[in-house]
Structure 1
């Protein structure tokens, strides 16, 4: 609840999450938590599901932490879960993290809906001695909702962060003699494992896994993840995708693509992200085509092409993709058998697993295409070809995988 009233948007945020097991909270990239519910160290799917229900019910019913702990104890006992940390600490982390994230995600949705009337946000802390020093320095900063500052610094910005925001309209800004703050310079730091391996890069003052806007991660998870990846060095992007495109998030990508495809009425220049290049693709391109500089590892589909992807207009029926294959495009892109480079057309070809006729299905991508949300690889065609055709080394370079049965 928020101020004694049921916070519908916050409840919707928690209800919309998909439960998934994980060994560590940071097994998934921060933005993925906007759609995936996980409990670190909980390897039982039923346990995670029950905990998700308990947390959602707690928010819906306005339960206190003490009340939630009863459900926590019941679920732990029922599943025989041995967790790290003391009971009071662990239950508080689960409760507070989810309540705070849900509240701020719902708040962002409200702010976006009212952006025309109140286009400015001010960063605010809890104002006590527990506030982190850098968060205290951000107190009072004012930027438009569209400013990139809010992509990474919209609260919460770490474990136990209690910071919030306040919205202002033009007239109120003038009445209170407030003005937009000077441009914010985001300084970053590298997150290093105990073995000395660099595994992430986050803004200074923000905990690893929290360098995203929880509202954007809920409303537009693909874009939020794309922004996170774009801020990382290329060598970190592939490994993060490898572990982040989990079964639950893969379902999110697939469901959102189906919704995008169904909702297209006319060409308007919109696009939908259907996936991200994994480390295999990124490394193969860097090794075998070093002259190509990827501007983004996201893969998108333009609305003007989506309804033609099935290829029903093509002369050969063997070229046409069945509807169920088109609808499963994100899964096929993730689960591929080979990646090739078309030397004549300068396009990337991804060959999915399986087939629907006697030829091999293929996804044709053009790299570094501009879209309304930024540059990405773009799916320009779906088709099929014989293995013999794709094995023509005068036309194609095999970058990754195999075309053998």
Structure 2
């Protein structure tokens, strides 16, 4: 069987993931936790910008050159020693204001920093490649390095073959811990036959344990065999981080231009995947831009971009199976409407209607965070009779959704 390496990927995708990160200082590695590492580059105990930038610049160069972690640590050590960020020192913890003896730079710490950033960056880049090829190669196989130094749980997962979109990969896509050397192998149906492999009957059992972050107090369910901070798919987290940054940029962009960018995004294969019920996805997708004026003002919105959340995408897939990606182009017409939005009998919910390509659409938008977010709750086709009822009677004509809940 061909050798699989978590670093067997052209570096461009990995470097792009790493370079898109925002530099942020932290006192403890648990201050910026889990999937947030897809957004931020941080080093525990490195609060000074010059120290963080020195580490980041060296990491970028070492990844581009394909250096070993030992070479990286050796080359960076003199710089950090000159900056005074080395050895055990007393520092004030901003969480409680107490002085604590902490470890700053060391050869071991630098090796850990480099190894973690390298593996997560390559893993995120590999996920992007996996998504682009999943129609022809729909299977992933978990591969553990079986040399006696592996974790027992990772050894037990070795050989698991599941579809790319199986929910198990949301939490078990490597790396799954510090210095984890596991990877995945993407396979086609022909590959399975050629290699004598069978899809797994089901995903390995998820045995979760509650784990509380001592820095934030937040409790998460952490699968056995996965270190705290690694219980997420770094590729999905990277997608989420990129969309968050895109939404922020679009809110600051001229609405017609922003609407064009959103419309192009909804024509992509990635958006079609996002709409599928049960799809592997995190975060929100920008699906529309409210034009300045009546609708946005009536809803007291401070933003213009309308988002579709993971949960609402699943609800749409269940309740409105006739709505496809192409229909979402009609959302732009609804959001351009100069009609006054109808307030719902649920707080912060609004109804809008509009026409596109001979279809009449009804849209429910929910505002959140005091007008700083707008979410698409429901979007579907109605007939002329229902439109007339809505225009005549207002919200009372809006049909309730499942279990009597207003959509």
Displacement of 1:171 after TM fit? 1.1
Question: Displacement, 1:192?
Answer: 3.9
Match of 2:177 among 158, 172, 178: 158
CA distance in structure 1 between the partners assigned to 2:265 and 2:242 by the alignment: 21
| Aligned mates of 1:18, 1:265 — CA distance in 2 | 27
**Aligned-residue offset at 1:75:** 3.4
Change (3 A) 1:269 1:105: closer
Sort the Cα spacing of 1:158 and 1:200 in 2 relative to 1 into closer, same or farther, 3 A.
Answer: same
Gaps of 5+ in 1: 224-249, 273-297, 331-341, 350-360, 373-405
- The count of corresponding residues between Structure 1 and Structure 2 is 292
Residue 182 of structure 1 and its aligned partner are, at CA, apart by 2.2
Partner of 2:140: 121
Task: Provide the TM-score with structure 1 as the length reference.
Answer: 0.61
Partner of 1:265: 263
In 1, Cα distance between equivalents of 2:63 and 2:122: 9
**1:387-398 correspondence to structure 2 within 5 Å:** none
How big is the alpha-carbon RMSD for the aligned residues of Structure 1 and Structure 2?
4.1
SS at match of 2:219: strand
CA contact (8 A) 1:125 1:131 kept: yes
Which position in structure 2 is the counterpart of 1:363?
A: 371
Measured at CA, do residues 36 and 327 of structure 1 come closer, stay the same or move farther in structure 2, by a change above 3 Å?
Answer: farther
2:307 corresponds to 1:303: no
- Which of 30, 34, 48 is equivalent to 1:30? 34
For residues 102-251 of structure 1, the aligned pairs below 5 Å read 102-184=121-203, 185-192=205-212, 199-221=219-241
Matches of 1:267 and 1:102 in 2, distance apart? 24
- Name the larger-Rg structure: 2
CA deviation digits over 1:255-303, x for unaligned, max 9? 376687551238969999xxxxxxxxxxxxxxxxxxxxxxxxx996762
SS at match of 1:220: helix
Please say if residues 348 and 366 of structure 1, whose CA atoms lie closer than 8 Å, have aligned partners that are also in contact.
Answer: no
Instruction: For 1:299 and 1:371, locate their aligned partners in 2 and report how far apart those are by CA, in whole Å.
Output: 19
Separation in structure 2 between the aligned mates of residue 4 and residue 269 of structure 1, nearest angstrom = 31
Distance, in Å, in 2 between the alignment partners of 1:109 and 1:299 is: 16
CA deviation after TM superposition for structure 1 residue 6, in Å: 4.8
How far, CA to CA, are the matches of 2:56 and 2:134 in structure 1? 31
2:248: which partner in 1? Answer: 254
Alpha carbons 1:311, 1:321 under 8 Å: kept: no
TM-score, with structure 2 as normaliser: 0.61
1:326 to 290, 299, 303: 303
Query: Does the residue aligned with 2:148 lie in a helix, a strand or coil?
Result: coil
Assess if the C-alpha contact under 8 Å between 1:348 and 1:365 holds in 2.
no
Corresponding residue number in structure 2 for 1:62: 66
